[in-house]
């Protein structure tokens, strides 16, 4: 692995934008435009929020009391399913083109449709190389389990880019210590955390992860109001179009836990910070959680990174 010290400093950003929850092409167009706008500000790495394309259904219950699935909930899911994207669809072509045009490394949260199942996914694009990594959320949180499938260990790999090794961990996956250890063991330099968590406690978690992993952490959350959703959207937070459903809180944190940008709760924003990769080995001088500060004689983590398809053929093909 290339030493971080050999990588020149660069500008990184987090895009705190509102998606169009039921128009994935409009959301993808906004992502592509934001990439180009950020490139004009010399941004080389840009992180977007969870479910930025495909939509985060904040406040929706899908009419599912315990033991029941009501017809209106099935219709709500059908509508949400139709707003998700295929990885080979036209939405991601817009993002791929923008990344290629700007040479930027981009991490964006999407709702991925695969067969009859939806996945909350983080995608990484690397300039002309296009899509280089896909991570499906391992453990949807709370009611998210009604609408999203579970990822397996085959999409947890970090990827090398010209800016360093990039990994993506989505929202409350960041509270899974074993997953964090797997990312640290891969030598992640740029730990990207698309999220829908806009609570005051989130920044503290991001600072802890940066300090624990001795890496840069970039977290992006949407700032979105009720008015961005259709008028007939069944929202448990009310129907006032000015109601803020997610208030942002995006931030960039350095490898000693120092806040470099954000958090911002005021509206849509592009937050940037200067990243000096040489800060990573300086920080690891006194703490390397999977290296000189580990005790593998006492603690060891076994990680299964094999894909787990529901059906395989006798010849081994899915």
Asked if 100 contacts 128 with a C-beta cutoff of 8 angstroms, the reply is yes
User: What span, in angstroms and rounded, lies between the C-alpha atoms of 154 and 130?
Assistant: 20
137 given a catalytic annotation:
yes
Strand partners, 15: 270
Shortest CA distance to 47 belongs to which of 308, 253, 243?
Answer: 253
215 given a catalytic annotation:
no
Asked if 249 contacts 171 with a C-beta cutoff of 8 angstroms, the reply is no
CB 310: neighbour CB atoms within 10 A?
A: 7
Burial 45-77 (b: 16+ CB within 10 A, else e): bbbbbbbbbbbbbbbbebbbeeeeeeeebeebb
User: What span, in angstroms and rounded, lies between the C-alpha atoms of 141 and 198?
Assistant: 15
Catalytic residue among 91, 112, 144, 171: 171
Give the CA dihedral 56, 85, 109, 31, nearest 10 degrees.
-100
Chain centroid to Cα 10, Å, comes to 21
Catalytic residue among 30, 58, 137, 284: 137
User: What span, in angstroms and rounded, lies between the C-alpha atoms of 136 and 110?
Assistant: 10
User: What span, in angstroms and rounded, lies between the C-alpha atoms of 282 and 250?
Assistant: 25
How far CA 177 is from CA of 153, 169, 205, 294, in Å, comes to: 15, 12, 12, 14
Segments in 188-284 forming alpha helices (H): 201-213, 279-284
Strand partners, 289: none
List the catalytic residues: 50, 137, 171
């Amino acid at each position: 692995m290339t030493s971080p010290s050999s990588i020149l400093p660069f500008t990184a950003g987090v895009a705190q934008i509102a998606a169009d929850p039921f128009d994935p092409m409009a959301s993808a167009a906004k992502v592509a435009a934001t990439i180009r706008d950020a490139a004009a500000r010399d941004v080389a790495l840009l992180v977007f929020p969870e479910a930025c394309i495909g939509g985060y259904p904040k406040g929706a219950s899908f009419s599912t009391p315990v033991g029941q699935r009501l017809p209106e909930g099935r219709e709500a899911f059908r509508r949400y399913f139709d707003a998700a994207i295929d990885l080979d669809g036209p939405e991601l072509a817009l993002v791929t083109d923008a990344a290629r045009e700007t040479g930027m490394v981009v991490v964006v949260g999407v709702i991925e449709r695969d067969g009859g199942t939806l996945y909350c996914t983080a995608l990484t694009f690397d300039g002309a190389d296009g899509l280089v990594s896909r991570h499906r959320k391992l453990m949807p949180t709370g009611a998210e389990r009604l609408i999203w499938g579970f990822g397996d260990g085959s999409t947890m790999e970090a990827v090398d880019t010209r800016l360093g090794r990039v990994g993506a961990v989505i929202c409350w996956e960041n509270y899974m210590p074993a997953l964090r250890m797997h990312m640290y063991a891969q030598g992640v330099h740029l730990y990207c955390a698309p999220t829908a968590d806009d609570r005051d406690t989130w920044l503290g978690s991001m600072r802890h992860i940066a300090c624990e992993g001795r890496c840069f952490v970039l977290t992006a959350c949407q700032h979105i109001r009720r008015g961005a959703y259709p008028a007939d959207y069944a929202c448990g937070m009310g129907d006032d179009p000015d109601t803020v459903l997610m208030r942002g809180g995006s931030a960039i944190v350095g490898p000693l836990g120092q806040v470099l940008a954000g958090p911002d709760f005021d509206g849509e924003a592009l937050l940037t910070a200067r990243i000096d990769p040489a800060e990573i080995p300086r920080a690891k001088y006194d703490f390397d959680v999977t290296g000189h500060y580990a005790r593998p004689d006492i603690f060891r983590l076994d990680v299964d990174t094999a894909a787990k398809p529901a059906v395989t053929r006798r010849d081994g093909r899915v």
